[in-house]
Every structure is written in C-alpha cells, then in structure tokens.
Structure 1
Amino acid sequence: MQEKYTVEDLLYLMKQLRNPEGGCPWDLKQDFASIVPSTIEEAYEVAEAIEAQDFEHLHEELGDLLFQVIFYAQLGSEAGHFDFFRITDTLVRKLLRRHPHVFPSGELYSDNCGVAVDEARVKQNWEVIKAEERHAKGEAGALDGVALGLPALTRAGKLQKRAARVGFDWPDIDGALDKIEEEIAELREAVRSGDREHSREELGDLLFSCVNAARHLEVDPESALRHCNRKFERRFDAVERELKSQGRRPADASLAELDQLWNQAKNRER
C-alpha cells in the first residue's frame, strides 16, 4: 500500500466506482440531482465540525465534501460536459481574476509582487469584479445570480446585501429591530384572523426581518440558529435526565414542571 494517496488516486477510485463492469451498484445509479442532498449534508457536517472545534475529525468531513466534487466531476466527464481538470482550471482562473492585488499580472507563477491594499479595498474590488462577471453572464439586476438552492436564511441575507449595495437598507440596527416589532404585530393580527395562508406569509416576513437584524449585527443567521438548536438540545437533555432520575419521562410532567426544570438548566449555564 502506498504511503499517501493523492487526488489522482481519488479520481481513479471514483472512475472505478462508476465502472459499469464491476463498479458499485449504488454509485452507478446516481446522477447530478440524486447526490445534491448528500452534498448539502456534507457541507453542514463540515460547518458543524468547525463550530464544535472538532479538528480531530474535520479532515474526514472535508474529505467527504471533496468526494462530492469528485463525484460531480466524474458525472460531468461521462456526459461530456466537463471533467475535474476543467473544474480546477476554471476555479484558478477565477481566483486569479478576483485577486489582482496578489496576482497583478494575472498569472499564477510570476515574479511580479502583489499590491498592498487594506481589507476594505479588497472587498470593494471583489464586489466590482463579481459584478462584472455577473454582467458578462447577462445578470443585469441587483438581485440576479443569488442561487435558488441556498438555505432560505442564507439566501435572504444575500438578497438583502445585494439590495443594500444600491441603497435599499436601514441606516442602522434600530430600523431593523423596529421592523421586527412591526412584523410581530402583523403576525398576531393574522393569527387572530384564523387565515392560515396569511399567517404563513406574515411569519415569512418576520423571519426575513430577523435575518435583516442579523446582517446589521454582522451575525450569520444560519450559524446563530444552529447555536440556538444546540442550546435547546442541551437544556432539554438536562430536563430529561432530571426526570429520568425520578423515574419519570417528560410526558409524565406538567408544563409548569417542565418549564421549572428548563429554567433550572438555563440558570446552571450562567
């Protein structure tokens, strides 16, 4: 067995998995659409490992995510659309184009030194270059090109950032917070009306407004919600453990008891 496997070995392995003669039946029946859910799941597992600072397993999660790219590359090669090397070539060219302050000649291997610029200037140049790329693709509108497949919270934030670039934004966090209060009042009214569809729409407006507040706070809403999910799991687990020590289950306790145990778990974290 060789000491270290390489990307070339991984490409060969993927090709063998998709070999009609002796390949893996599961891999053979997959297509672009069928592996999208796995790609999304693997990306979230990478994010989870990073947030948990689980660096012992992060390299494994990154490998799983890399395998998704290798899988798409094999599918693209079989269909004659593209291969892995076209993916890497396109990526390198795009990154060279977007980093003129590091690669002023536009070449990867060059004796030319980069230009010293601050982070704000880098971001400004980055957005200008990306806007030029969108224009070249025929995406003229400020909101064009924001991927439909993104998680809803992430996509809401990107749409808001695009709108903010052309001046459509609250001047500060207060405006965003006031909007949340306005949307809560409208949601209450919709709930009282008994109109389920109207309530759904107003709830969406409220979530969108919460994302706006997160953007002004420079907080990633997906990350914030994942953190909240973990906190909820931790505290509810503490409630279950306490009840289990009494020979009981959550279903055996009243809401008042559950609420009391919840507050106890919450206080212990302070």
Structure 2
Amino acid sequence: MTDTPSIDRLIAIMARLRDPEDGCPWDLEQTFRSILPYTLEEAYEVAEAIEREDMASLRDELGDLLLQVVFHARMAEEGGHFAFADVVEAICDKMVRRHPHVFGAVELADSAAILAHWEQLKAAERAGAEAGEPNGILDGVARTLPALVRAEKLQRRAARVGFDWDAVSAVFDKVEEELAECRATLAEHADPTERVHEIGDLLFSCVNLARHMDVDAEQALRAANQRFERRFSQVERGLREQGLEPSLETREEMERQWTLAKTAERA
C-alpha cells in the first residue's frame, strides 16, 4: 500500500524544477507574468470539465490548477516574499474570519444573510487594506476578470447601495434604448469610436438584464457558444452527406440544416 499523496511532494517537485543548477531550463525562465496565461487557461479548463460533468477531467484539471498555485508560490519564495505555507495560512484565516456563523457565535438566518454578511466582511477588509486611501464602492473588482464577469460584479456592487433598476421591465427598456443607439451608429458618417461605445453600452445592459433575471451572463454566453459549435458541426455533417461544403453557394442548405439541428436538440 502506497503512502497518501501529500502536497509536500508537489512542492518538492516544483523546487527541483526551479533548482538553478539542475532544474528545468523552461521552468527556470518563467516569471509571474509569463505563466499568468497558463494560470488563466487552467482555471477555464476546470470550468469546462465542470460544465461537461466530467469528473475524471475535473480531477486532472484541478491538479493542473494546483500546480499553478505552487509555481507562483515557489517564485514568490525565491524572491523572499512568501511561501506556499503562507498562502495556505492566509486562506485558512480568511475562511474562519468570514464564517463567524460556523467558527464563532454569530447567528445568520439563511444563505441570503450569510452572503450579505460575507460582503460586509470583504468591504471591511478592503477598507483596512487601503487605510489612508479613498475607499470607493467599486474598488477591488479585478480588472483582469473576463468583461462579462466584471460587468456583473460592478453592477452588484453599485446595487448594494441602491444604484440599480427597480424592476426588470425597466432593464428591458434600457436594452431596447441601447440597441436603438447602436442602430443609429450605422449611419454613413457615424464615428467608429462611438460605435464601439454603443456596442459596449448594449453589452453592459444585457449583463444587467441577465442579473435581474438571475442568470449568470458569462455562463449563459459560454453555453450559447457551445450550442453554436454543436449545431454548426451538425450543419457541416449534413452538407458532407450531400457532397457539399459550407459556402455562400450553399447558404440556403446551411440554413435548412441549422433548423434541423435546432429541432433535433429540442426534441
């Protein structure tokens, strides 16, 4: 019987890979910035495994994501900033601090109260971290988040202090208003920059609509992407069965195959 795998083994492997004398040349060349794209990619691959409900892939992808954490921590340790143990200690302290209803004497009635208290604690932490600096409602929403995710977080922050639509019907009106403004930028002499701004306003309004309808905009768009890929693949298969290829000349048949693909999914 083998020993239970330990995080210490992974930490030791990373230390070996970063050894200046006998490590891996590629690993030694990496910096926080150079491996950042890999960190983001691994997080998205975790999300994809979850969406596919593929537990074997999820196990592997979580391991890849954990490796990224260990990699960053190792480089930080080499720079004298912090080590992996400090990362673990910080998150343990944070989770205990943010769950006083579990680890303390605070009583919270339900999930809504727990989330509200969680946000209050986060706000207090941000205020403490930024002592001496103006502490805006929107401070701390990471600029590197995907745009749809960040838009929703900004809107939720503003909504907590009452800056929000009172009813979903008003959000529908706002989406229609922004769509009309987008149409106006199709005029012959429209400013291209204004067109970009209006499209951005329309997308922001659509995120607001999703939020008011209790829909995660990022997940909704990811699902729409997957549906499009799946249906278009069916269109290509339908064309190949007739000896055809996607092109302007086969557009009518592509539309027919698209309708068939949608109908088959709904059935």
Taking structure 1 as the reference length, what is the TM-score of the superposition? 0.93
1:134 aligns with 2:126: yes
Q: Is the 8 A contact 1:101 1:117 kept in 2?
A: no
In percent, how many aligned pairs have the same letter? 51
Q: Which residue of 2 aligns with 1:62?
A: 62
Q: Which residue of 2 aligns with 1:172?
A: 167
Q: Distance in 2 between matches of 1:118 and 1:23?
A: 51
> What is the correspondence of 1:213-228 to structure 2 with a 5 Å cutoff?
213-228=209-224
Q: Distance in 2 between matches of 1:42 and 1:95?
A: 23
Amino acid at match of 2:59: H
Q: Is the 8 A contact 2:32 2:75 kept in 1?
A: yes
Q: Which runs of 4+ in 1 moved over 6 A?
A: none
**Aligned-pair CA distance for 1:266:** 1.0
**Aligned-pair CA distance for 1:116:** 6.0
Q: Distance in 2 between matches of 1:241 and 1:222?
A: 29
Q: Distance in 2 between matches of 1:153 and 1:116?
A: 31
How big is each residue's C-alpha offset from its partner over 1:12-41, in whole Å with a ceiling of 9 and x where there is no partner? 000001111121111110000011111111
Q: Report the more deviating stretch, 177-186 or 256-265.
A: 256-265
**Aligned-pair CA distance for 1:252:** 6.3
Amino acid at match of 1:199: R
Q: Which residue of 1 aligns with 2:6?
A: 6
Q: Distance in 1 between matches of 2:25 and 2:109?
A: 52
Q: Distance in 1 between matches of 2:232 and 2:3?
A: 46
Q: Distance in 1 between matches of 2:224 and 2:202?
A: 18
Q: Distance in 2 between matches of 1:101 and 1:117?
A: 10
Q: Distance in 1 between matches of 2:108 and 2:166?
A: 31
**Aligned-pair CA distance for 1:5:** 2.4
Unaligned runs of 5+ in 1: 106-113
Q: Which residue of 1 aligns with 2:153?
A: 158
**Aligned-pair CA distance for 1:125:** 1.2
Q: Which residue of 1 aligns with 2:117?
A: 125
Q: Distance in 2 between matches of 1:195 and 1:256?
A: 34
> What is the correspondence of 1:222-237 to structure 2 with a 5 Å cutoff?
222-237=218-233
Q: Distance in 1 between matches of 2:114 and 2:28?
A: 44
Amino acid at match of 2:171: A
Q: Report the more deviating stretch, 171-180 or 46-55.
A: 171-180
Q: Is the 8 A contact 1:98 1:126 kept in 2?
A: yes
> What is the correspondence of 1:96-135 to structure 2 with a 5 Å cutoff?
96-104=96-104, 115=107, 117-135=109-127
Q: Distance in 1 between matches of 2:217 and 2:198?
A: 19
1:34 aligns with 2:26: no
Amino acid at match of 1:269: E
Equivalent of 1:203 in 194, 199, 204: 199
Q: Distance in 1 between matches of 2:4 and 2:60?
A: 15
1:256 aligns with 2:252: yes
